[in-house]
């Protein structure tokens, strides 16, 4: 991923794996993709939570992508 992309705004939505519900109800907005990835990493430490990131361009990044970006 380009450094420029990591500096663009992004939002984070967290699904609970065991039921069709969100934590929190509305996506959390971040000034940069880096911040959204860091928040998603924290969410991944809670069993059953599946963070999804939406980029400024509208791309949807699933939990597997987030996990891969943390390595």
Domain residue ranges in the chain:
3-69
Report residue 5's pLDDT band, with 50, 70 and 90 as the boundaries: confident
Instruction: Choose between 25 and 63: higher pLDDT.
Output: 63
> 């939505």: which residue's tokens?
13
Q: Alpha carbon of 48 to those of 16, 18, 32, 44, 59: distances in Å?
A: 6, 7, 25, 8, 23
In three-state secondary structure terms, 5 is helix
When mean pLDDT is compared across 18-22, 31-35, 38-42, 54-58, the lowest value belongs to 18-22
Distance CA 53, CA 13 (A): 6
pLDDT of amino acid 44: 93
């Amino acid at each position: 991923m380009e450094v420029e992309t990591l500096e663009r705004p992004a939002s984070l939505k967290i699904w609970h794996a065991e039921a069709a519900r969100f934590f929190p109800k509305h996506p959390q907005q971040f000034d940069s993709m880096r911040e959204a990835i860091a928040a998603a990493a924290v969410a991944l430490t809670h069993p059953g939570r599946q963070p999804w990131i939406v980029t400024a361009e509208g791309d949807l990044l699933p939990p597997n992508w987030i996990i891969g970006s943390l390595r």
